[in-house]
Every structure is written in C-alpha cells, then in structure tokens.
Amino acid sequence: MVAIRLTTACLIVFSLVGCAPQGPVQRQVGQPGQREAQREAQQETQCPAVLDSTERAAAVVAIGALLDAWHAAAGRADEEAYFAQLSEAAVFLGTDATERWDKAAFRQFAHPHFAKGKAWSFQAVRRDISLTKDGHAAWFDEDLDTPNLGPARGSGVVIRRENRWLIVHYNLAITVPNERFKAVKQLLEQPPSADAAGPPQEREGRRD
C-alpha cells in the first residue's frame, strides 16, 4: 500500500519556522514500521528544531559573552584570541569607505598594531541580539564607548558552528547626531588636511 502523509506535528513546525518540504513530498512505501522511519527521517531534514525560551536565553548570553571576549582581546592586543572569534568567511567593515576586509585582509591590516600592543579598545554599553527560530544564526547591534572614535556603533551577524558561535560579519560605524549632520557633511566635502590624512589604523588602533 502506498500512502502520502504529512504529520500534524510537522505541519505545526512548518507554521512556526516557515520551513516547507524540500521538493515533492516523498511517497512512504513499505511496511508500517518502515514507513514511520521514513517519515521521521524526512521530518528531521525538513523541520529544523525551534528553540524554547530557555535555550534562546542561553544563546543570547553566549553571543554576548562572545562579543565581550572579542572586544576584550583587542583591548589587551591578543591577536590569536581576537581572530579566533571570526569565521573563515568573516567580513569586517571599518569606518572608512575603503575599509571592507575579509578575515585574511583584516588580519594583515591589524597584525602590526597587535604586535606593538596597540590594538583598539571598545566597550559595549548597549546591545540587542535577535536569533533565528532554529537558533543557528543571530544578528545584533551595539553602542560602543571608544577612547579614540568617541561614541560608535557596531552591528553584525553570528553563526553557530559545532556548538560554538562565530562572528561572520561586523560593521563598525560612527554615529552622527541629527542636529550636527549638516556640519559633518560640509566637513566631509572639504579636501582632507595633511594631519587628517594618516592611515586609518592610527585613527582606530592607537590607545596611548
């Protein structure tokens, strides 16, 4: 006997996470026990697990700890610990329009300053974290207290790989109050002075 079935449980999960069968629904063929095993295998691949509130809270804490440890590694100029928090596919966006680095390019840029013990010091003073329903990825934004940049903002994406979180994207930005935007725009339209034309690592990296 041939039957085509989608269990009620799977339909409920579809509605919660927005997943759907990948391709045509497979026909369940064979004895009842075999058909049940086929259904369970199909549901496992088509219906990602949904985190409960406790698991979501734990994930938010873990992501916050990851970001705090990442910033702390920069503050003590620990290059290995800093770049260990980035996925191999990570992208870092700096405050200058030219600063879009993959992991290798970012490390090449940062290495001389870590080696001198003069990396940057960022302290998050506010952070919001949002998770996907299955808990495999999250996005965040944070306000930063920085000695050299002044008030700044970071935002990005993290992914979970082999039970650990990794940063896959980070965007560092300087916030501009609305009432000062016109003056900042006028300043940006002027040719840069010789004093302001230094390399971006001196702007972002110097802590002394």
Rounded to an integer, what distance in angstroms lies between the CA atom of residue 58 and that of residue 182? 43
Q: What is the pLDDT of residues 77-89, one digit of tens each?
A: 999 999 999 999 9
pTM equals 0.71
Topology (CATH) of 53-205: Nuclear Transport Factor 2; Chain: A, (3.10.450)
pLDDT tens by residue, 122-135: 999 999 999 999 99
Q: How do residues 174-195 score in pLDDT, each as one tens digit?
A: 998 889 889 988 988 998 776 5
Domain residue ranges of the chain, discontinuous segments joined by +: 2-46, 53-205
Token code pair at residue 19 = 């997943």
pLDDT at 95 (0 to 100): 93
pLDDT at site 10? 39
Q: For residues 13 and 45, what is the distance between their CA atoms, to the nearest angstrom? A: 12
Whether residue 180 contacts residue 92, with contact meaning beta carbons closer than 8 Å, is answered with no
CA–CA separation, 19 and 152 (whole Å):
37
